[in-house]
Structure 1
Amino acid sequence: MASTIHKWLALLMAIQILFWFVSGLFFAIAPIERVRSEHMKAEAQPAPVAIEAAAAGLQRIAGEAPGERIEIRAMAGAPVALVSPSEGRPRLYDLTSGRRISPIPAALAAQIAEADHLGDQRAVRVELVTENFPEYRGALPAWRVDFDDGGNRSLYVAQDSGTVTARRSTLWRVFDFLWSLHIMDFKEHEDFNTPLLIGATFLGLVVIVTGIIMFPSRLGLNAWRRRRRARREASRSEA
């Protein structure tokens, strides 16, 4: 009976154990830097913003709503200020004109993504994303900028801040799919405390423990011990 239960549990767990080993092997082989497309990020030197230009630009937006944090940087060759309030969406301003430029348009998002992407690739498609999904869980709304670079890369540019918030590729999508199999979260791909994973791990432990317990029997050691005991008892009886 125990052997039958063990066989059925092992059969039940075989596929998931295969997923664990295949995905684990992939995670060990695939360099995480390439999964994240870090090798395709352009190494552009940050453009400095003169203090005088920043001060004059802040004077131009002095009448705007206050912010808890103000970040000044260069974007697309022009000085900008990102004003982040304690509540609500961040606001991006062109310090040269004092004009608010967020939410940024698709053309500017494509320009930002092309500057961030290594090489001279041009965007082939720009699409607005308004909801998080397994491939992207970042600032919303965001522009998804696709490149036909052999890796099917997509860069996500936050519409409010104009920053690249995620880089995705075919390699990343394979990694993410195998991760969902590994942690058994087939919907969101991020929860490794799912009841499925806990139950599968428990069943796997049961299979291993019962296998160890039954191992001597499978080798015939129990039968050998019974025969040896029987011979001893027979020898005592003859004596």
Structure 2
Amino acid sequence: MSAASRISSKIHKWLALLMAIQILFWFVSGLFFAIAPIEQVRSEHRIAEQTHAPFPLDAAATGLQRLAAAGVAPGERVELRSLLDRPVALLSAGEGPPRLFDLATGRQLSPVPAALAVRIAERDHDGEDRAARIGWVTEASPEYRGALPAWRIEFDDGANRALYIAADTGVVTARRSTLWRTFDFLWSLHIMDFKNHEDFNTPLLIVATALSLIVIVTGFVMFPSRLGYNAWRRRRRARRTGAERPANRAV
């Protein structure tokens, strides 16, 4: 074995031992990511089909005039949409929270009350399941980093599914399940961000990747020796040298 192969063998052995667990995490999590359909991870296959009837523009204009007459502060952006088959307007201004209004009555709907959040979640969730538990979320977590505050609506549907409803807009901002939580846990192992599960530029990941690269490179250096190529070259050289010596003596 050459000197380069001996040094590479020592480095390869100890670094491989050091990195074995993380390399295993990379392969296991990568296999899971390849197998799990992303639409099921995001619970997109459990979104109920909804038909939204368009509302007349004159009704929207009348609703906005109703808000103006009621002294509602104007917004920098106005979004018109349907919420549970009712025309609503979402007004956004500056850094303040968005305001949601019912255009038919002029009543402000935000922050969305619990009962309305449950109805939104049940309309969004495909199937006959009804909300089992409801919680109020004010802080971001690895499971939810969307708009805050929000309602967390849980369903006993066999997948521990939870829908998050933004309190200011009434929009379903996230769908979580056991499959998603498994995916997220493996993702945290894959990118080595064990706290927030989202930063793949951590120094720990960079160091681990560099060490794994050294394991691969030293493995390539050792490859000819482990295949017997170096020994074959020595035997060939020895035979060639032995064949040349008698010829030299004859001369």
Alignment partner of 1:44 out of 32, 50, 68: 50
Kept in 1, the 8 Å contact 2:11–2:215? The answer is no
Q: Deviations over 1:153-197 (max 9, x none)?
A: 111100000010111111111111111111111111111111122
From 79, 87, 100, give the equivalent of 2:87.
Answer: 79
Could you state the TM-score of these two structures normalised by the residue count of structure 1? Answer: 0.93
Between 1:174-183 and 1:49-58, the stretch displaced more is: 49-58
Paired position in structure 1 for 2:27: 21
Structure 1 residue matching 2:78: 3-state secondary structure = strand
How far did residue 51 of structure 1 move? 2.6
The answer on whether the counterparts of 2:121 and 2:172 sit within 8 Å (CA) in structure 1 is yes
After superposition, residues 52-71 of structure 1 pair within 5 angstroms as 52-62=58-68, 63-71=71-79
| 2:43–2:175 contact (8 Å) kept in structure 1 | yes
- Alignment partners' CA distance in 2, 1:16 and 1:142: 36
Alpha-carbon separation, structure 2, partners of 1:159 and 1:36: 21
From 102, 111, 118, the counterpart of 1:103: 111
* Partner Cα distance (1:110, 1:9) in 2: 53
Q: In the alignment, what sits opposite 1:4?
A: 10
In 2, the alpha carbon distance for the partners of 1:205 and 1:77 equals 56
SS of alignment partner, residue 168 of structure 2: coil
Q: How does 1:141-180 map to 2 (within 5 A)?
A: 141-180=149-188
Question: Percent identity, aligned pairs only?
Answer: 71
> Aligned partners of 1:221, 1:33: CA distance in 2, in Å?
49
Detail structure 1 runs of 4+ shifted over 6 Å in the superposition: none
**Which range is displaced more, 16-25 or 226-235?**
226-235
**Offset, 1:227:** 3.9
State the Cα distance separating 1:98 from its structure 2 match. 1.4
After superposition, the C-alpha distances for 1:23-50 in whole angstroms (9 at most, x for unaligned) are 1111111111111111100111013223
Aligned to 1:218: 226
How far the C-alpha of 1:235 sits from its partner, in A, is: 4.9
Distance in 1 (CA, whole Å) between partners of 2:27 and 2:34 is: 10
TM-score, normalising length from structure 2?
A: 0.89
Partner of 1:196: 204
Q: CA separation in 2, counterparts of 1:77 and 1:44? A: 10
Letter in 2 for 1:125: R
Kept in 1, the 8 Å contact 2:52–2:85? The answer is no
Q: Which has the larger radius of gyration?
A: 2
AA partner of residue 211 (structure 2)? L
Choose the corresponding residue for 2:98, options 85, 90, 96: 90
Instruction: Give me the whole-angstrom Cα distance separating, in 1, the residues matched to 2:10 and 2:136.
Output: 55
Tell me how far 1:236 sits from its aligned partner: 4.5
Matches of 1:235 and 1:205, distance apart in 2: 43
Deviation of the 1:94 alpha carbon = 1.7
Distance 2:163 2:191 in 1: 26
Aligned-residue CA RMSD (Å)? 1.7
Q: Offset of 1:99 from its aligned partner?
A: 1.7
Contact 2:188 2:197 in 1 (8 A): yes
2:37 counterpart letter in structure 1: P
Unaligned runs of 5+ in 2: 1-5
Code of the residue aligned with 1:212 in structure 2: it is F
